[in-house]
Structure 1
């Protein structure tokens, strides 16, 4: 299995949560493989349990595994780095301060690592204090261009802009998207994306000229009864992607 992401050839790839190995397979097929499947480290008590289970997901999806924190939980940062070193997944979710550790432990530059920055209410300014200790301190507000440069310094691949709360921070997102395009960096809008606002959010990033975009669509497309992501909704999102890119 390669740790070079399948989606490197894609401009847009989805990121959804997988509730089981079968759910991951179903969603992988629903998006015609233009997707990574999120499995949350927070759901496991030990590194060993996470590694054993996540290997099953890798085997069934050609390693389209996205190792997740769990609602951006900074306390999971170290565990994500440790298990990713063993798993060598295609995609890793990290808090801002955890990116360098993950890249160093991976020992390669292929795996896609995002760095979580948060909206501040001020277009062009983001909060990078998203780590285990820093998230409990006053916000560290920096220009988005500086945040991008710092992530590049640490070996990061993209900005994870979270929590977007749907369209609540769309004006800030427009500035982030332009900065990513201008600085040859990738972008992952996350938090509150759903079937209704997905197209508008994606269109902003595409219009800005971002080269690679990975929208995260989580709870809004999860079946409350089963806890699994609905493959039919993944298919709908994939159709929207094709429409926007057409």
Structure 2
């Protein structure tokens, strides 16, 4: 398969989970390709089984997959980096401290790598201590502008802001969006996003001038019986995106 790691999507690109190739195809088609399908490394026993399975997803959805950690699990950071090296996906989720290693192993600048930072309770500040060791230490709070500069230094492309808990950290989120817009950086709001707050979360980023937003919508659109993301819900989200963008 010819891999296409270049991440090229519309201003708002959905990020949803999938647990089967058939489900991935359904979600990809219903969003007209403007989505990346999250496949979590934590769901596999070893690197090789993850690589073999993720290649099947790549072939089915033109490599529009997002290699995920699993609820931001810092202990998956190295595995995600190793897997990404082999499959060259379009999108990778990383903890803040894992970006440099991941970019080096990819050996190219086309794949989008995000860096996880967390709310602090202080507007304008984020916690960057999200790695395997640093997450067990005292939170390291830095201005969001500094965090973005560090992400760029390490080869990152976007801020993954997690866990947002919906709009619980609304004012902090606004500050993050404004900083991303000022720095021409991508923003990935994550955690607690559902149909009640999705539009507002998107509009806040759009109104701030963020050039690209990749909202992660997970548990709220997953069928609890099957564990699959509901394609009809992806369609509804995509329709909201189109209405926001006009």
Please indicate the TM-score interval, normalised by the length of the shorter structure.
Answer: over 0.9
Q: Which residue of 1 aligns with 2:78?
A: 78
Q: Which residue of 2 aligns with 1:4?
A: 6
Q: Which residue of 2 aligns with 1:145?
A: 145
Shift of 1:19: 1.5
Q: Which residue of 1 aligns with 2:32?
A: 32
- 1:108-123 matches, within 5 Å, as 108-123=108-123
Shift of 1:6: 3.7
Shift of 1:170: 1.0
Question: Is 1:224–2:215 an aligned residue pair?
Answer: no
Counterpart Cα distance in 2 of 1:171 and 1:231: 31
Counterpart Cα distance in 1 of 2:116 and 2:99: 9
Counterpart Cα distance in 1 of 2:27 and 2:137: 38
Q: Which residue of 2 aligns with 1:188?
A: 188
8 Å contact from structure 1 (residues 89, 111) kept in 2: yes
Counterpart Cα distance in 2 of 1:18 and 1:128: 28
Question: Is 1:41–2:38 an aligned residue pair?
Answer: no
Shift of 1:49: 0.3
Counterpart Cα distance in 2 of 1:199 and 1:79: 33
TM-score, scaled to structure 1: 0.98
- Provide the secondary structure at the position in 2 that maps to 1:110: coil
Q: Deviations over 1:224-245 (max 9, x none)?
A: 0000000000000000000111
Question: Is 1:89–2:89 an aligned residue pair?
Answer: yes
Shift of 1:30: 1.2
Q: Which residue of 2 aligns with 1:161?
A: 161
Counterpart Cα distance in 2 of 1:76 and 1:180: 26
Shift of 1:196: 1.3
Counterpart Cα distance in 2 of 1:6 and 1:86: 21
- Provide the secondary structure at the position in 2 that maps to 1:45: coil
Counterpart Cα distance in 1 of 2:12 and 2:100: 25
What are the ranges of 5 or more consecutive residues in structure 1 without an aligned counterpart?
Answer: none
TM-score, scaled to structure 2: 0.98
Counterpart Cα distance in 2 of 1:77 and 1:157: 17
Q: Give the aligned CA root-mean-square deviation in angstroms.
A: 0.5
- 1:167-186 matches, within 5 Å, as 167-186=167-186
Ranges of 4+ aligned residues in structure 1 off by more than 2 Å: none
Q: Deviations over 1:178-234 (max 9, x none)?
A: 000001111000000001110000000000000011000000000000000000000
